[in-house]
Each structure stands twice: as structure tokens, then as C-alpha cells.
Structure 1
């Protein structure tokens, strides 16, 4: 039996999840200590099973991130088998730094690596948004620790235990922010992303509740943790799960938070530290400097991203200002500037001569009329490529508009005694594949050359080349009709 398609309804998954959650929660609440361990252990294996089934059925096409998630889940299940009393005996909220704390932190790290790998393609399309979301998450972890977790840690807490709990809170907060951000743009993956978000939020809530209820019952902590496992298990089963690693093609259109919100988030931890220092009634929490140190590289990454985006935008604007959009050649304004610079170099004696070639295509209009403007654009792009290949690096090629081109040659330009105009004519006469057919075009090329001391300027040079081009075109009309376009 095949896996449900992406268009299949998701309500059966939701119904099974609700049923399992009610059954597991009720069984745990009513069971005795020994049976509770069995119920909790059974629930921890459910996501491992669903992930392996989805991978085995080929439902999850991008295997690497899901395998990393399975490894993390397997690590959690192993820890539950080795230390079955860890949750029932309320060790989760004590921050003792025991092996179980280390196993849980390592398992969460593995699963988060898998989640980050799965979401990496979404991140390529919206890097700034994800960095902003991670910043909000990291900044939110400070108040959470200072107001709820840190003050309620008992005497059993050790520096290692506090560090492990702190790392869990910081990483979960950052990843939650990223998942929420991706959920706002990846519409097709919102179902599984919602389950991943809910699982992370429940795990983060477990860290808080376990500390607040460390001297009371562990039932609430265990039930929340089981619900986190079950929501995690539902994510790969949903028909839309493959879209988590396969973003929809196209640009991401999403708003970025105002800079004022980012500034307020970044000021949260320093403000709390200042309040603690002013009160002087308890030592400042270690989370504030740690989270601030984690925020600094993220902020630097965001600034680097903004700087790179601005540099790319400036390069794009410069290119667009100097180049023709269709062919990539210099536009009229820039090629005129290049001619002026060449004439100045000629006057200074830096060049021995400057030659200008004006090229007007022959037979282009019939191609455009017969095959359409898209075919005409292809012909113009091909002509631009051939013109560029016919000249040297120090020369310049531009498009004046329509089917008119200009070639600027700096210095002597003959190659094996063959003028550049003849070489260009040979290249342009080569067949061009257009709309499944083959066409040929030609060009009327007018040439004008300036030498030092002859008193020529840019306008004079262009006028002479223009006159020569029209003389060539008139000669072609007298010699024979120009019908060079059409199938070969």
C-alpha cells in the first residue's frame, strides 16, 4: 500500500494524534509508578517508528536531515531505557548535570541539526528573515531564564546542569523563531512545520514546568513531554511533509520586522542586567552574558548579510546603468563615454588610432516579422555574442538601439591582414537556430578611423562611420535585393 499523496486530507493524522495523546495522558495519570515508565517509554518510540516508516516508504525524499532527526530521537529513547526513572523522579528540573542531562542535550542537538538541515533550502531564500527570527528567539530566552527558570533552581543544580538547561532553552528559542518564520512563507509545509513548532514549544515548556514543579508531581511534565513526542511523530506522517525540505520555487515575499522591534529585543538582556545590578539583592544571571555573546555573532551575520545585499544591489544598478538589458552590451550612453575616453587617449598619444564600426543588421526585420519578437531577441543576443567574440579585450561593443550596434577598436586592429569588419561579416553570416528553423542575416558595416593630429572628434568619427554604413547599404541595394533572412 502506497503512502498518501500530497493532496490527501490531513485530518486522519490529526485524529490519530488526538486519540493517542488522550490515551497516553490518561494511561500515565491512572497508572502506577512501574506502568508509567512503560507508557512513557512506549511513547518515546512512536516518532522513531513514524520517521523510519516515512523514510522506508520514500515519502521523505531528502533523507539526510530526517536520518539525523531519527538519530536524535533514538538517542532520547536510549536514555529513557537506561534511566527510566529520570522523568517520573523529577530529575529533569533539577539541573544536576547527570549523564541523563547530557544525553538529552545531545539528543536535542542531533534533532535540531536535522531540523536545520531540513530547513536549509528555505533559509537560502530568506536568510535575513531567519536571522531576525533567531535573534528574537535568543533575546526571548533571557527573560524566560531570569524570571522563571533561574530563580527556581534548587540546591541540586550544578554549573554543568545549568549550562545544559540553558543551552536547551537558547537553542529551542532560536529554532522556534526560525520555524515560525518559515511557516509564514512556506504555505505547503505549514502542517508539518506547525507540528515541529508545537513539539519545540512543548519541550521548551517542559524545561520551565519541570523547574517550577521540581518539588511537586511530575505528571504534568511527563504528559507535556509525551505530547511533544507525539506531535513530533505526526510531522513526517502528514501528506505535505516532503514540502518541509522542498520549498516552492520562486522568491519569498515576507515582511521583515521593524528595526525598532529588533532594537527592543536586543536591549532586553542588558536592561535586565541593569535592573539586577541596581537592585543588588541577588547576583546577575549567567544567562545574560552567555546569551548576549551568542547574539553578537548573529547580529554581525545580519550586518554582513545587509552589507552583501547592498553591494550586490549597487553592482546591479551600475551594470544596468551601463549595459543594454537584452544583449548585455554597453548601452548608448556608456559606449559614447567609451568613445570620448578613447579620443582623449588618442590626443595624449596613448593610442596610435581609434576605429569606429557602425553595424546595421540586414535581414533582421523579416526574421522578426515571421518568427516573432522572441525569435528576434534571440537573434540580437546571438549577434551580440558574435560581435564580442570578434574583438579584443581592450575594445568595446555597444548597442545603439533596435538592430544597430557599434564597435570601438582601440589601436591597430588588423589580424593576419584581415580587417575587423570582414571578420564580423563572416561571423554574422553563420546560421542561427530560431524556433526550430535556421536563418541567416548580414550586416552593413561603416568604418571610420581617427589618428593623432587629424582634428577628429567623437561627433566627426560617428558621422563618418554612419555615412560609410549607409554607403555600404546603398551599394547592396543597387547590387541585388537584400533577402538574407529565412530558412536555409
Structure 2
């Protein structure tokens, strides 16, 4: 098997990353401008090569998220080939709106799309938590933009550049929130890869921040941070835990309680609160905060949709539990009685077949109650199969079942009774060996419109069923 592989020890990845990061960072910081551009190119090519090797070797499964990520790396490579001195000369984070800025933003967009696919697959059981984390991240990004980036924008910043950089900051913040959520819930080998991916986003955001602050040697610091970010995403791809990152994780989504909703409300209030403070101070708010708020709206709508579906699922489960037997999943006594009363108001005759199992008690006595439960489930499935889709089968309780027929001739009902007897008598395989149970059936017919209720109809079927029981069973009763 070619390297990398999932069985390799993780320390190899960690050691290689640290060695490359220290070497590249040290040489870059001490080199001249021309050499820095060359070092940057070598690191980008190394990262793309390692990522490509991980894809070609089959190390990275569910390849679509990883293909989007390597597409982002390829865009960054093109960016550096076309403008090799853009980061070296300190243009990163200056919101100048140059093609290099836009190309980097497009690369970050591909990273976002890849991360979204990976998160969607891995955290499908915690979709609400992921959306919440993304909202927190985007709202925090809006605050960072107002307090960190916007006050330090140079005179050369353009409206297009500011909008592009704002979106970039919000995207990075949203991805950071999602990855933090994944990191908290991560278990096993996936933790290392998620940590590297999180470090990639944090380093990229830090490089933008250093460039935006406009301090001395910003080109050197931004370049070092971006170099290490490239190495971290390459380390994430070759880490042994990379295949596990896109595998679904069993995380149960929690209901959005009051505390969690309060935090969401506070997060969503950040941008309006900042705009209000700026307005009271007489400061110009511009279009930045409205753009940030617009980016939050799809997340809010997605979260509301999730909460609505969660509530609908809960209501559906409760309704099912209220009308169905927990053991056999057949309709329970209340539901079948309601069905009989409703059928009696219709145009067809109503026939009920009351089925009581013979020989069920010895199964419980000799094999245990778990075996008895399995017998009841098997009989329930057989009754549903024999009855067909036009008849309703319910469990009245214990080992008593009822089949509700809307219409049918005496010959058809007699044939149905025989099929039920023959099917129920078939052996049932249990861990302790096969067992057999019989069934005694009592039938009762009611003509529509005669004023007969369901309880009376069942009582008649019960009397016939009891009369048909073997003599020894009647005496035992």
C-alpha cells in the first residue's frame, strides 16, 4: 500500500509538519524579497503535491470535499504564480480589491464548500449544532471586522476590496465555528486532522489580521503565517485520521433549550448592537454590517427549518407511540377500537377476527419472557402479511390480536381464518430452539347502520373465540 495510509503512526505527520514549518518559517523570515517568493512557491507546491498524493493513493475517502480543498490550493498556487510578490510586499489584508485578493477569496470559498460537505457528512446527527456554530462564527467575524479590521484600513482600500475582505473574514469565522464544533465532538483518529484543519483557518485569519493592522514587517509575518497554513492543510490530508473526518459520527442533536436560544439571540444581536452604538456616536456605519447581517440570514432560516423539522419529528413519534403497541408496532387497543367505530359508520359490513394464541404460556415458562416477546413480534408480522393491506391488524393486549375487515363474504372470511391458523402454526426459530403456537379465532359480523358499537362486536367475537378454545384451556382459564 502506498503512503500515506491510515495505519501509519501520527507522530510522523507531526514531526514532518514541525520540521517543515520551522525550516520554512526561519528561512523565509531571514531571506530577501526574491528568495521569499521562491520559498513561498516551494511550500505551496509541496502542499499541493502532498495533498495530491493523499488523493491518488486512496488515503482520502469520500473525495468530493477533498477535491474542493485541493481546488482551493490550486487557485492559491495560480495566485502566487501570477503575483509572486503580492504577499511578500505586504498587500495581504489591505482590502485593495486587486485580482490577487479576489482569487484568494475564491480559494477560501472552495475551502468553505469542501468543509461544508465534510461537516454535513460527519455531523449529520448534529446539524443544528453545526448551524449554531456557524452563526456564532459569522457574528463574531462581524464584530472583529468593525473593531479590528475596519479601523486600520489604508487609504488605498477600495469599496470592492472592503466588501471582498469582509466576506472573506466572515467565511473564515464561520468555518472556524464549524470546525470548533467538530473538534469538541471529535473522537478517535479524526481529532488530529480536525485540529490541523482548524489551525489552517486560524493561521489564515491571523495572516489577514496582521496585514490589515499594517505594522512593520507585515509582509514577512503574513508570509510566515500563510506558509504554516499551507503546511497545516497538507498535514491534515496526510494525517492517519483524515479518512475518518468525513465518516458520520454518532452525535445526538440536543433540543434547543432556553439557554441555547438565548445565546443565539445574543449572537444575532451583535451586528445591530454595533450599528446602534456607531449611530449614537455619530460614526458612519456604511454597508459592512448590513452585508454581515445578510450572510447570517440564510443560517437563521436553515436553523428555523431544522427546529421545525425536529418538532414535527417529535410530534410524529409521540402520535405513533400513543396509537401503537410498543412491542409489536401494531395499532393498540384504543386505535383499533376507534377504527372499528369508524368502520361501523361506513357502507360496508364490518367483520372482526379475534385471535388468541394457544400454547403461548409454556413458551414464556420454558424459554423466558424475551423469547415470548419474540414470538409475539413474529406472530404480529405474520398476521399483517396474511391480512394484506386492506385490513387492519391490532394488538389488544397479552397474546390477543384483532383483524379488522371492512367488507368480505363469508367464504372470504373463512378462507382468511384458515390462512391465519396455518401461518401462525409455522415453527418460530428461537435461540433455545424452534417453538410452535396455535391460534383460536372468534369472528363477529356487523351490518352497517344497525347501531352496533365496537365493544359489542368484540364481545361477540370473544364469546365465539372462547367457545372454540380446547377444553383443557377453558378449564385452565
Structure 2 counterpart of 1:467, from 452, 463, 470: 463
Corresponding residue of 2:446: 450
In structure 2, relative to structure 1, the CA distance for the partners of 1:217 and 1:202 (3 Å cut) is closer
The CA distance in 2 between the partners of 1:131 and 1:29, in whole Å, is 39
Hey, what's the Cα distance between the residues in 1 that align with 2:216 and 2:410? 93
Alignment of 1:314-463 (within 5 A): 314-343=315-344, 345=345, 350-351=346-347, 353-365=349-361, 376-391=372-387, 395-414=391-410, 418-430=414-426, 432=428, 440-451=436-447, 456-463=452-459
The alpha-carbon distance between structure 1 residues 59 and 216, as it changes in their structure 2 partners (threshold 3 A), is: closer
Residue 267 of structure 2 corresponds to 265
Structure 1 residues 475 and 255, CA gap change in structure 2 (3 angstroms): closer
Q: Return the offset for 1:122.
A: 2.0
Q: Which residue of 2 aligns with 1:116?
A: 116
CA deviation profile, 1:137-190 (whole Å, cap 9, x unmatched): 111111111111112212222222222211211111111101111111121211
Q: Is 211-220 or 266-275 further displaced after alignment? A: 211-220
1:245 and 2:246 correspond: yes
The DSSP-based 3-state class of the residue aligned with 1:218 is helix
How far residue 254 of structure 1 moved from its aligned partner, in angstroms, is 6.4
Residue ranges of structure 2 left out of the alignment (5+ in a row): none
Structure 2 distance, partners of 1:48, 1:266, is 38
Q: Separation in 2 of the partners of 1:95 and 1:167? A: 11
Distance change in 2, residues 1:418/1:262 (3 Å): same
> How far, CA to CA, are the matches of 1:254 and 1:182 in structure 2?
15
- Answer yes or no: is 1:10 the counterpart of 2:6: no
Give the structure-2-normalised TM-score. 0.90
Could you say which residue in structure 2 is the equivalent of 1:138?
Answer: 138
Contact 1:327 1:384 in 2 (8 A): yes
Q: Is the 8 A contact 2:48 2:73 kept in 1?
A: yes
Q: Which residue of 2 aligns with 1:210?
A: 211
Residue 112 (structure 1) shift: 2.2
Distance in 1, matches of 2:369 and 2:55, equals: 48
Q: For the residues of structure 1 that align with 2:340 and 2:422, how far apart are their CA atoms?
A: 25
Listed one character per residue, the Cα deviations across residues 230-277 of structure 1 (whole Å, up to 9, x for unaligned) are 1112112222121111134x3436686622211111111001111111
Aligned to 1:481: none
Worse-matched range after superposition: 209-218 or 366-375: 366-375
Greater alpha carbon shift after TM alignment, 183-192 vs 306-315:
183-192
Give the SS at the match of 1:449: strand
Equivalent residues in 2 for 1:4-403, closer than 5 Å: 6=6, 9-188=9-188, 189-213=190-214, 217-248=218-249, 250-252=250-252, 258-281=260-283, 283-343=284-344, 345=345, 350-351=346-347, 353-365=349-361, 376-391=372-387, 395-403=391-399
Aligned residues: 471
Q: 1:452 to 1:32 in 2, by over 3 A?
A: closer
What's the offset of the Cα at 1:192? Answer: 0.9
Compute the displacement of 1:195 (Å).
0.9
Which is further off, 137-146 or 353-362?
353-362
Cα distance, 1:430 vs structure 2:
4.7
CA 1:404–1:202: 2 relative to 1, 3 Å: same
The 3 A distance-change label for structure 1 pair 454 and 302 is closer
Question: How far is 1:324 from its partner?
Answer: 0.8
Cα shift at 1:318: 0.5
Give a deviation string over 1:196-222, Cα, whole Å, max 9, x none: 111101111211210111675411111
Aligned-pair CA distance for 1:459: 3.8
On the 8 A contact 1:90/1:214 being kept in 2, the answer is no
Change over 3 Å in CA distance of 1:6–1:369 after alignment to 2: farther
SS in 1 for 2:12: helix
1:462: Cα distance to partner? Answer: 2.6
- Give secondary structure in 1 for the equivalent of 2:21: helix
Deviates more, 1:132-141 or 1:458-467: 458-467
Deviates most, 376-385 or 291-300: 376-385
Measure, in 1, the Cα distance between the counterparts of 2:327 and 2:321: 11
> Residue 482 of structure 1 corresponds to which residue in structure 2?
none
Q: Is the 8 A contact 2:91 2:219 kept in 1?
A: no
Q: TM-score, normalised by structure 1?
A: 0.88
Q: Is the 8 A contact 2:123 2:248 kept in 1?
A: no
1:185–1:253 Cα contact (<8 Å) kept: no
Q: Residues 322 and 259 from structure 1, CA distance in 2 versus in 1: closer, same or farther, beyond 3 angstroms?
A: same
Q: CA deviation at 1:384?
A: 2.1
| C-alpha contact (below 8 Å) 2:4/2:54 kept by paired residues | no
SS at structure 1 position matched to 2:336: helix
Residues 437 and 112 (structure 1), Cα distance of their counterparts in 2 relative to 1, 3 Å cut:
same
- 1:393-448 superposed Cα distances (whole Å, 9 cap, x missing partner): 56432112232101223344546574542342244345555559766543100112
SS in 2 for 1:119: helix
442-451 or 222-231: bigger deviation: 442-451
